[in-house]
Amino acid sequence: MTSLPATTDKKLGLVIDLDTCVGCQACVTNCKEWNTGGLMAPLTDLKSYGAEADGVWFNRVHTYEVTGHEACGASASRTMHFPRSCLHCETPECVTVCPTGASYKRTTDGIVLVNEDLCIGCKLCSWACPYGAREFDVFEGVMKKCTLCVDRIYNENLAEEDRVPACVLTCPTSARHFGDLGDPNSDVSKLVASRGGVDLMPELGYKPTNKYLPPRARKDSAAARPTPELKPITADGFLGWVDKLLSR
Amino acid sequence: MNPALSVIFFTTASGAGYGMLVTLGLYAAVGRLPNDLWFALTAMVVSLGLITAGLLSSTFHLGHPERAWRAFSQWRTSWLSREGIMAIATYVPALLFGLAWAFPTYVPLPQSLLGILSAVFALGTIYTTAMIYRSLKPIHQWHNKHVVPSYLMLGVMTGAMLVLALTTLFGERTAFLTPVCGILFAAGLTVKWLYWSFIDTSAGASTPTSAVGLSGPNVKVTSVEWPHTEANYVLKEMGFQVARKHAARLRHVAIWAGFLLPAVALEASILLPAMAPLLLMPATVLMAIGIIAERWLFFAQAKHTVTLYYGSSSA
Amino acid sequence: MAFTAPLENDGVNTSPHVADEVKTTTCYMCACRCGIKVHLQNGQVRYIQGNRDHPVNKGILCGKGAAGIMQHYSPARLRKPLKRVGERGASEYAEIEWDEALSIATGWLSNIRATDPKKLAFFTGRDQSQSLTGWWANQFGTPNYAAHGGFCSVNMATAGIYTIGGSFWEFGEPDWDHTKYFMMFGVAEDHDSNPIKIGLGKLKARGAKFVSVNPAQTGYSAIADEWVGLRPGTDGLFVMAIIHELLQSGSVDLDYLVRYTNAPWLVIQAPGTADDGMIARDPQGNPLCWDQKTKTPINALLAEVAPVLRGNFDVNGKRAVPAFELMAQRYLDNAYAPDAVAERCGIPAATIKRIAAEVAHVAFQQQIELPIAWTDWAGRKHDKIIGRPVAMHAMRGISAHTNGFHTCRAIHLLQMLLGSVDVPGGFRYKPPYPRPIPPGPKPAGKKGATPNQPLGGMPLGFVTAPEDLLLDGQGKPIRIDKAYSWDHPIASHGLMHMVISNAVNGDPYPIDTLFMYMANMAWNSSMNTRGTIDMLTAKNTDGSYKIPHIIYSDAYFSETVAYADLILPDTTYLERWDCISLLDRPISDADAAGDAIRQPVIAPDRDVRAFQTVLLDLGARLKLPGMVDEDGDPKFPGGYPDYIVNHERAPGIGPLAGWRGDGTAQGHGAPNAAQLDNYIENGCFWRGEIPHDARYMKMANASYLAWSKQMGFIPKAEQIVLQIYSEPLQKFRNAARGHGPVQPPDKDRARIETYFDPLPMWYAPFEEAAIDPQQFPLHALTQRPMHHYHSWGSQNAWLRQITSQNRLFMNRTTATAQNIADDDWVWITSHAGRVKAQVRLVDGVNKDTVWTWNAIGKRKGSWALNPNAPESTRAFLLNHVISERLPNSQQSNSDPITGQAAWFDVRVRVERAADHEQNDAGHNFGALYPPPGVTTGPDVLQYGAQFSEAAE
Ligand SMILES: Nc1nc2c(c(=O)[nH]1)N[C@H]1C(S)=C(S)[C@@H](COP(=O)(O)OP(=O)(O)OC[C@H]3O[C@@H](n4cnc5c(=O)[nH]c(N)nc54)[C@H](O)[C@@H]3O)O[C@H]1N2
Ligand SMILES: Nc1nc2c(c(=O)[nH]1)N[C@H]1C(S)=C(S)[C@@H](COP(=O)(O)OP(=O)(O)OC[C@H]3O[C@@H](n4cnc5c(=O)[nH]c(N)nc54)[C@H](O)[C@@H]3O)O[C@H]1N2
Ligand code: SF4
Ligand code: SF4
Ligand code: SF4
Ligand code: SF4
Ligand code: SF4
Ligand SMILES: [Mo]
């Protein structure tokens, strides 16, 4: 059903820390290996060993250079890695445009999913997603997307601490966080509050659930990190300051 | 956006087919439909043929055409669903109208009422098609007030021109339709012109900085590396780029072939009625070429916000 | 806390079956040694997950590790032993049986062993079995053995081991939990990649300052709080300028220096004599210091002395000065002032001064104290440990330059001055380090090679003086790579990059068989790729190859496979036993010693064998000592796992330290038949914690030293005194000045005298000094992509989708001045050659530097890729412009002390390619063709589909 739930019980989602992400692609391949055997399996790869290789992925990491932002500090620019996946928006038009009901937003946890058995592969939902989060499986003729690892986060066959999205489980720098953004007291909500987490393209009104923590200001100038200057000691002549009673 | 031929063909062909329905329906409403079996059959076959061919072609780009029937279910939210329903629904008045017109003795139904109904449904279908594009917020070139008028105008314009061409072929030309077509060409070009000047002078609200959630007066974001070195689905589908020069040239083709030359031919056919068939046939073909170019541009010049992630400076 | 599945009723199975079986093992998508849990369904890999209990990765996986499935099922896997049937490089192979392969190898090798064992050059690449391979070479009797360390990071290892008795690389780590100021020099990824990422995450969460010194602002540097984008090869100057500032302001930890370093040791000043620059010693050989209380020279190793750090003393009639003063005099010189070095470094003097001030401030004003009671080497008890929370880490950005050894020593000197070695918040050793400086043993093979005899020790070791060099009667190198010769005296890891070139030139001598394992020497691990390929195929006038036999073990169809005569196909990392041993490169962390195993989690579906098992089999066929029993039967009939459990290097010491003897012994103990089972039960690793009071100040902590001795890491529980002044270096310098029994030939005297400076020095990288900077104005670097491992990654259907073309990254301003626009194709030209690349303009790179991702370019046809794959049409390999010799010279392009390959010294110019060349990389290497059984992978890959069906 492509009508959106008025509210959802929870707002499960990710918080991604752009100040910490080193662009290692771990979340990217871990997502791939989990999901290619998961709910949306397989994530088909085409021309896998040839020119123009192209496959279905749910998570992609870009690299940018940013100028004119406090995060650059004294440098002209700052390199910023930027992971991009489905934001499980609160009012996602990728769902409402779907003619078949294949796309839907869950009322319990807010996860946006595609039911592959209903999907006719019209691709409209991918047009409606501003974030490029949906990827069409050309070979299977259906739309695929990040499931927020719905087949992990509640999975009773996994140890409790492993019941998080694959990308979060693996992130070496802990730049990815998972939780209920609808609960103001959750760790993720507090993190977003304390770090000024933001929405991507808020102007479009999709109200993403996932939040991004912008890179913090660099501490690379005297102003940003005041430290007393080092003053030469000249009083006691050459190395005079060394002459004190030292013991081994 | 990738100008997929199936979709271009669908929107132009069906648009023209629905436009013909509108024209014929209104003709019927004012009671001036020629009572000629062959003309009626031909006009209805061309109109419904274009509609059907377009619809079929649109299913070609589906991953699972065999499930197309599922598309009727989500009319509450989905313009695509609504379009599907409208498209199918339109067949009902249109077929009845066609039968009533072609075989008035066997099918004694009110032609004018059915004509009006057909016209309304046809316009409604074009409207739903247009709304599919109009409603997509990530695509500034579609998500604007010019899109619906353009689709409606161009559908009716191309349909009317086709009807005019047919009446000419069948010798059923009326003095009435030619000037109407002239007016439609002027109006079509106007709405299209307004559309083009709108997209030429405005950009979407989203920017490379808002795409990554940064803000500040001097912030600039430049793409250094993509997540993949070869093109992927998102880029192939939504990252299509048309060279500025190429676009300008095609726009000229659209303006001249789609509007100006056909309009000149119309003028000429009024002045030289004997030459009308000779003038209007090539004019129709020219128009088709022009409108296909226009529609190609409608896709090719549409920039999706996802391109902001791939280094585009605006969308 | 996990969420419970809500009642959504959408038909989604939120608890699908994941695995029939989960097996632990150790990842080998790179050398970082992370623990993994392999989830298997129907005997296929469903999912690879990091092992949460594992000390290295603590549950996380990097981008490569999570793509292991595609590596394991790679279409490029070799399937059966191969024999070359055409010319080398012509891609004509015949499949043969293992028996035939092993007989061929045994034939060649037994002949060599019976005549001149050094005619076998056995070199291994990226493997983790160097304690086995080195031992095998020893038993075979050839000195010509090394692993890849010589072209990798021997500068880091050697400078560290000779200075602080431990090193960066993966043998030490910052105290991630306590440091407040972290400086990282020249690191893109490292062998400790996951621990570094985990650590950086901790710093970020705590808000500690992270400074990255690196010409390129990528990866880790991107998240640094300060990016110091200096000019390559100038780190030494940068660090020495910081030292200058610290010394000038008295911001050094004198207490630490006198207690833990040789700063107070007296250095004889007697120019022209053999004693000059040597440490003044008492008759027992103990170093002397000047005691302030008694005003006499006293054994500097005693606890109860009050050493001075400055002055001029008469010691037995000779003038002597504390090492500290010599050091301070050097760096207080204005030549090392920030203003003097700023321009060469490309860093403003004010920045250097500020960083020095910040470092000093954190070290001395923000010191931390951990309430850990400990006892020092002299038995004195302390109730706390003082931490100077400044930590440093450095790797190949320092290492891969001809001045890397000294630069690395300079960084260690800076650490010592701050008192931040093995203190809370500083750099911490991982066992088995610290070890005595220099540690034993010395390299074996001084007598050369004797037919049918073992070498008598491990081929690689640590020299202490010219007398330890491996020179023949004429003073010529004994080793084929000229390690431990006057060319590269302290070449602790050998010089793999020179083997092929030297062998083909017959300098020092020709060889019979080149035996390689896991090293893609015909492509990305050779400097001068084109030249190396020519050398591998070079022939004598009689038509025979200059290197008569090449045996190679690879698991995949790499470029080098095409140049081998006999190919021994290996298993993948999920198919074999392995041992990540304390004798080699263990998984220790600063709080524990550790080692690990790999167990087969999947049975091979091809006729391949684990190389280590093959090596033991070959050894048995050759009847090598230790590999056969008294009856001449194989000693390890069970192959490598048999060896792992039962081999003893010394009584009670074997490849694995855990669960020895009756299963409770650690470190020492008799072989335990159940040892591998014990490992498997524990997740395939062992971690033996260091006692709590022994985790810091390890070089001087009585408890640690005793533990380390008991574990067999050090011979005696004696303090390890850190060396700001390096006497072994001075010994070489004195030899060059005409003293001692072993002296360099005249042509090498000046070079040895200059570079064997006992204090860290800086000089321009050799290539920079040899070329015309107008002609080659730019430095060219490579960096490891975090998601690719050298040449392995491209066969991986997932990893190659992320990167299958590498760009040349160029500073926007520099490029624009040359009319080079983004996406242009350019020629990169060095003194050695040229290669074409497509540029990407960026701001975040030093303006005099260009760089690219390492090892993305592939030879057409290799790796089971389609010949039109971007890897061989648009990607490129920077190695094509890097030379193994210095410009117009026969001298190798290596550090003069260690022989470290100077990959990052290369200087280039970059010019826009002509209009008609603006399309692709235009490689003119011919295509390679896959051996029998190897075919290009499928076009459509739907890995995983089988599991969803099973799940339904
Ligand atoms: N330009 C430039 N060149 C460099 C460097 C640089 O920084 N810049 N770095 C240098 C350094 S530090 C290094 S260490 C070298 C590394 O260079 P190489 O040692 O050549 O490393 P790889 O390409 O990873 O792999 C070597 C071979 O091991 C094979 N292999 C993989 N897995 C297995 C296995 O399980 N068994 C067997 N038998 N073989 C296997 C691979 O197929 C490959 O052919 O590159 C060096 N080259
Ligand atoms: N993902 C991945 N991990 C790997 C490998 C891999 O291939 N892929 N290879 C493994 C191997 S064999 C090795 S040896 C290690 C090496 O690990 P790293 O030491 O991280 O090696 P590089 O990627 O060569 O990175 C060298 C860094 O030094 C910088 N640099 C170059 N010259 C200078 C200089 O003069 N000064 C400073 N300050 N910086 C400089 C470069 O910009 C680059 O960032 O990585 C290991 N880990
Ligand atoms: S990110 Fe895109 S796909 Fe995901 S919910 Fe939002 S609009 Fe839909
Ligand atoms: S592609 Fe599938 S999920 Fe997307 S809108 Fe069409 S039917 Fe719905
Ligand atoms: S939540 Fe799961 S599906 Fe979504 S990006 Fe992360 S790993 Fe991929
Ligand atoms: S795993 Fe973490 S650090 Fe690596 S790219 Fe993803 S978010 Fe960034
Ligand atoms: S760093 Fe990555 S590839 Fe290397 S061992 Fe660890 S998980 Fe495997
Ligand atoms: Mo290396």
Mutational test site, ligand 1, from C214, C516, C520, C530, max ligand atoms within 8 Å of CB: C520
Q: Which two three-digit tokens encode residue C513? A: 């068989």
Distance C794 CA to ligand 6 centre (A): 21
Task: Tell me how far the alpha carbon of residue B313 lies from the centroid of ligand 6, in angstroms.
Answer: 25
In percent, the amount of chain B with pLDDT more than 90 equals 91
| pLDDT at residue B173, as a whole number | 76
- Compute the distance from residue C395 Cα to the ligand 2 centre, in Å: 7
Omega cis (within 30) before A165:
no
Distance to chain A for B106, nearest Cα, Å: 39
Q: Note whether B200 contacts C: Cβ–Cβ < 8 A.
A: no
What is the per-residue pLDDT across A139-179, written as a single tens digit (0 to 9) for each?
A: 999 999 999 999 999 999 999 999 999 999 999 999 999 99
Q: What is the pLDDT of residue A237?
A: 82
Residue of minimum CA distance from atom 4 in ligand 6: A24
pLDDT tens digits, residue range C800-845? 999 999 999 999 999 999 999 999 999 999 999 999 999 999 999 9
Q: Tell me, yes or no, if B76 comes closer than 8 A to chain C by beta carbon.
A: no
pLDDT at A98 over 80: yes
The pick from C151, C518, C904 for probing ligand 1's pocket by mutation, whose C-beta has the most ligand atoms within 8 angstroms, reads C518
**Cβ of residue B228 closer than 8 Å to a chain C Cβ:** yes
| Structural contact between residues C243 and C353, judged by C-beta atoms closer than 8 angstroms | no
> CA B11, B17, B21, B24: dihedral to nearest 10 degrees?
130
Report the residue from C60, C204, C354 with minimal CB separation from A171: C60
Which residue, by CA, sits nearest to atom 6 of ligand 6? A27
Query: Which chains lie within 8 Å of chain A at 3 or more CB pairs, if any?
Result: B, C
Partner-chain contact A118 B70, CB within 8 Å: yes
**Whether C822 contacts chain A with CB within 8 A:** no
In A, which residues are within 8 Å of B206 by CB distance?
A: 130, 201, 203-204
Backbone torsions φ then ψ of C381, nearest 5 degrees: -95, 140
Q: Give distance in angstroms: CA of A166 to centre of ligand 1.
A: 29
With a CB-CB cutoff of 8 Å, which residues 201-220 of chain A face chain C?
Answer: 215, 218-220
pLDDT digits 0-9 by tens, C746-798? 999 999 999 999 999 999 999 999 999 999 999 999 999 999 999 999 999 99
Q: What is the DSSP letter of C914?
A: P
For residue C228, what are the β-bridge partners? C213
Is B281 a member of any domain? yes
Q: What is the total count of domains within chain B?
A: 1
Pairing of strands C549-554, C566-569: parallel
* Domains assigned to chain A: 12-213 (3.30.70.20)
- Partners of chain C (3+ Cβ pairs below 8 A): A, B
* C-beta C189 within 6 A of ligand 2: yes
What is the per-residue pLDDT for C949?
A: 55
Cα separations in angstroms, C451 against B202, C357, C443, C484, C511: 84, 61, 19, 22, 15
Q: How far apart (Å, rounded) are the C-alpha atoms in residues B211 and B204? A: 12
Dist. CA B271–CA C187, nearest whole Å: 81
A 32-61 residues with CB below 8 A of C?
32-39, 41-51, 53-55, 57
Q: Determine which residue's CA is closest to atom 8 belonging to ligand 4.
A: A98
Please give all residues whose beta carbon lies within 6 A of any atom in ligand 1, as ranges: C 125-126, 148, 151-152, 517-520, 524-525, 553-556, 558, 560, 570, 572-573, 611, 782, 789-792, 854-855, 878-879, 882, 903
Q: Determine the structural domain holding residue B23 and report its residue range.
A: 5-310
Cis peptide leading into A42, omega within 30 of 0?
Answer: yes
CA dist B32 and B24 (Å) reads 9
Question: Which two three-digit tokens encode residue C122?
Answer: 């056995």
Q: A 56-95 residues with CB below 8 A of C? A: 57, 63, 65, 67, 73, 75-81
Atom of ligand 1 nearest to the CA of C557: 42
Nearest to C218 among A79, A173, A215 (CB): A79
Asked, for residue B315, whether it belongs to a domain, the answer is no
E strand residue ranges, C282-409: 288-291, 296-299, 313-315, 318-322, 368-370, 374-375, 381-382, 385-387, 390-394
pLDDT the model gives residue C1: 64
Q: Quick one: chain A helix, strand, coil %, rounded to 5?
A: 20, 20, 60
Measured in Å, residue A185 CA sits from the centre of ligand 3 at: 25
Alpha-carbon gap: A136 to the closest alpha carbon of chain B (Å): 7
**Other residues' Cβ atoms within 10 Å of the Cβ of residue C451:** 11
Q: How confident is the model at residue A234 (pLDDT cuts 50, 70, 90)?
A: confident
- Contact predicate C904/C185, CB 8 Å: no
List of chain B residues whose C-beta atoms are within 8 Å of the C-beta of residue A101:
70, 73-74
CB contact under 8 A, B205 and A1: no
Residues of B in contact with A63 (CB under 8 A): 223-225
Residue B93 in domain? yes
CB-based contacts of C327: which residues, under 8 Å, 6+ apart? C263, C413, C724, C725, C759
C493 lines ligand 2 (CB under 6 A): no
Q: Which atom of ligand 5 is nearest to the CA of A59?
A: 5
Which residues surround ligand 3 with Cβ inside 6 Å?
A 86-89, 92, 94, 112, 129, 131, 133-134, 145, 206
Q: Count CB-CB contacts under 10 A for residue C542.
A: 5
Give the number of whichever ligand sits closest to the CA of residue A61: 6
* Contact by Cβ (8 Å): C142, C118: yes
Q: Report chain A residues whose CB lies below 8 A from the CB of C229.
A: 75
Give the pair of three-digit tokens for residue B306: 């996802």
Ligand 4 pocket member A169 (CB < 6 A) = no
User: Which among C255, C309, C868 has the least Cβ separation from residue A50?
Assistant: C868
| Three state DSSP letters for C52-121 | CCCCCCCCCCCCCHHHHHHHHCCCCECCCCEEECCCCCCCCEEECCHHHHHHHHHHHHHHHHHHCHHHEE
Q: Is C67 in the pocket of ligand 2 (CB under 6 A)?
A: no
Question: With a cut of 50, which residues of chain C have pLDDT below it?
Answer: 950-952
The encoded tokens of residue C497 equal: 């990059």
Cis peptide bond prior to C510, omega within 30° of 0:
no
Residue C18: list chain A partners with CB under 8 A.
155, 157-158
Q: Do A66 and B73 touch (CB under 8 A)?
A: no
Distance from C-alpha of C102 to C-alpha of C609, rounded to nearest angstrom: 12
CATH code for the domain of B252 = 1.20.1630.10
Domains, in order of start, for chain C: 1-61 (2.20.25.90), 82-152+444-572 (3.40.50.740), 575-688 (no CATH), 725-758 (no CATH), 768-917 (2.40.40.20)
**In degrees to the nearest 10, what's the CA dihedral of C734, C739, C740, C743?**
80
* Interface A:C, Cβ pairs < 8 A: 346
pTM exceeding the 0.90 threshold for the entire prediction: yes
Residue A123, ligand 4, Cβ within 6 A: yes
The nearest alpha carbon in chain B to A60 belongs to B227
Mean pLDDT, consecutive 10-residue stretches, chain B (315 aa), reads 94 97 95 91 97 94 95 96 97 97 93 96 98 98 98 98 93 84 97 97 96 96 98 96 94 97 94 90 96 97 98 92
Q: Name B145's Cβ contacts closer than 8 Å, sequence gap at least 6.
A: none
Asked if residue C121 lies in contact with residue C513, where contact means CB atoms within 8 angstroms, the answer is yes
Give residue A236's pLDDT.
81
Q: State whether C292 and A246 contact (CB < 8 Å).
A: yes
Q: Which of A162, A219, A245 sits opposite C306 (nearest CB)?
A: A245
The burial class, CB within 10 Å (0-12 / 13-18 / 19+), for C7 is: exposed
Ligand 4 near A122 CB (within 6 A): yes
Instruction: Evaluate whether B195 touches B151 at the Cβ level (below 8 Å).
Output: no
